[in-house]
Amino acid sequence: MSNEKEFSQLIEETYRSLSFFLRYLGLPEPEVDDMAQEVYIKAYRALDRYDEGRSFKSWLFSIAKNTFIDWTRRQKTQRKFLEQNFIREFSETFEDDANNRSDIRELISKLSAEEQILVELRFFQDLQFKEIAELTGLTVGAVKMRVMRILERMKAGIKREHYGEHL
Amino acid sequence: MANICEKLIEQVSSDSAKLSPELQSHVLTCPECQQYLESIKGLKAARKGMSAKEAAAIAGIVGLISKEAAASAAAANASSGGAAGLFGKAVLVVVVVAALTMVAFDKSSEKAPLPANKGINIQTEDSTSQIGSADSEKQSENSFTSTDELAGTNEADNASSTADSSRWQNSAEQDKIDATNSIIVSPDQEDIKSR
């Protein structure tokens, strides 16, 4: 991928996920935009080193992770992850009541930070379980288990709604 | 949960179109899996579009990437044009060197024929320094002086050589006398004598 236009398209597709991933890692809110910019520029400059056999999104997020690690080294301070802030930000990207279905936003806000980032990476970025495990530091089994739980809860919500409609 | 349902969870992501034919046929007969797919569709449908803040951030990054692309393209052009530029520089250097050489030859040819009364034929070192020097008048004067001095020295040398030759003749005569006196004495004999 050497086309500037294609890369711009990719930025549009991944910007939200990347910023949530950086927040999930514990990057303070004021730093998110700057670091996202740094990550994209790094990725653009390193395009010739990108292995075509690998998922581009997975490669981009691994650059983000390394950039974040470098940042924490430079800061020399303990990172503080404010889970409630992350969860609020993430759930706000969902409608309150989309298509007259169950309240997905409420359901999302009840998920843990890890589960929320799994939703983002798995369902909105199509990353594989293995790739998600590498990025989040979880085991592949743990990632699968959490995704199953999320789907169970969502399925239960849909079932309840569907069941309620017929009552 | 059936094994096939777990497979579906593993495969399911953005849309059911990515499911294998086997799983697609399974979904048609499994209400649980249908509900999973419905929940994912619901999740995607509930996602808000890009916010103004996100759009602004993306626009900023895209702008930077465009600048980066333009800069790298300019650098590539400069490097491809660099070969031609290098050739031009080489030609320029050759021309300058040739011009300087010609100027140097012109100057040297002007300075080479020195005035006859300066006596360049006496001292070659001085004449060499005159060719390479810009202030030829002063130098030639110096060389002229030194030639005079040299001429004087020669005269003195000649005088001293006359004295030396008479001295040499005297010493030769003395040697002859010495030789006649010592002719019967070999160095070995002298050694024997000294012992």
pLDDT tens per residue, chain B (195 residues)?
Answer: 556 677 777 776 545 557 778 888 888 888 888 888 888 888 888 899 999 999 999 999 999 999 888 888 888 777 765 555 566 666 677 777 777 777 776 766 655 554 444 444 444 444 444 444 444 444 444 443 344 444 444 444 444 444 444 545 555 555 555 544 444 444 444 444 443
What's the CA gap between B33 and A128, in Å, rounded? 19
What's the CA gap between A29 and A85, in Å, rounded? 9
Point out the residue among B39, B44, B68 whose CB comes nearest to the CB of A151.
Answer: B39
In single-letter form, the type of residue at position A18 comes to: L
User: Which one has a higher pLDDT value, A39 or B69?
Assistant: A39
Looking at CA atoms only, how far is residue A155 from chain B in angstroms?
A: 6
Query: What ipTM, to 2 d.p.?
Result: 0.85
Please, is B140 exposed, middle or buried when counting C-beta atoms within 10 Å of its C-beta (0-12, 13-18, 19+)?
Answer: buried
Average pLDDT of the segment spanning A111-129: 92
pLDDT tops 60 at residue A35: yes
Token digits of residue A89: 């930000």
**Residue B186 per-residue DSSP state:** -
Largest Cα–Cα separation, chain A: 59
What's the CA gap between A90 and A20, in Å, rounded? 7
pLDDT for residue B143: 40
Q: Rounding to the nearest 10 degrees, give the CA dihedral for residues A83, B58, A65, A140.
A: 70
Contact B46 A95 (CB under 8 A): yes
Contact B39 A157 (CB under 8 A): yes
What's the CA gap between A91 and B149, in Å, rounded? 108
Looking at CA atoms only, how far is residue A130 from chain B in angstroms?
A: 11
* CB neighbour list of residue A159: distance below 8 Å, 6 or more residues apart: B35
Are A137 and A151 in contact, with CB atoms under 8 Å apart? no
pLDDT tops 90 at residue A34: yes
pLDDT for residue A164: 53
Question: How many Cα atoms occupy the beta-carbon half-sphere of A157 within 13 Å?
Answer: 22
**Residue A42 per-residue DSSP state:** H
Sort out which chain A residues have CB atoms less than 8 A from B42's CB and list them. 98-99, 101-102, 104, 154, 158
SS3 B158: helix
Percent of chain A with pLDDT over 70: 89
What's the CA gap between B189 and A55, in Å, rounded? 110
pLDDT for residue B45: 87
SS3 B47: strand
What's the CA gap between A45 and B75, in Å, rounded? 14
Best of A2, A7, A38 to disrupt the B interface (most B CBs within 10 Å) is A7
CA–CA distances in Å: residue A158 to residues A54, A107, B9: 35, 11, 17
What's the CA gap between B45 and A124, in Å, rounded? 11
What's this model's pTM, rounded to 2 decimal places? Answer: 0.63
pLDDT for residue B155: 44
CA–CA distances in Å: residue B134 to residues A145, B107, B108, B126, B140: 94, 9, 10, 14, 11
pLDDT for residue B85: 58
Which residues is B53 bridged to in the sheet? none
Helix axes B3-11, B31-45, angle to 10 degrees: 20
Which residues is B47 bridged to in the sheet? A94
* CB neighbour list of residue A7: distance below 8 Å, 6 or more residues apart: A1, A44, A47, B65
pLDDT for residue A2: 55
Best of B6, B34, B35 to disrupt the A interface (most A CBs within 10 Å) is B35
pLDDT for residue A58: 94
Sort out which chain B residues have CB atoms less than 8 A from A122's CB and list them. 13
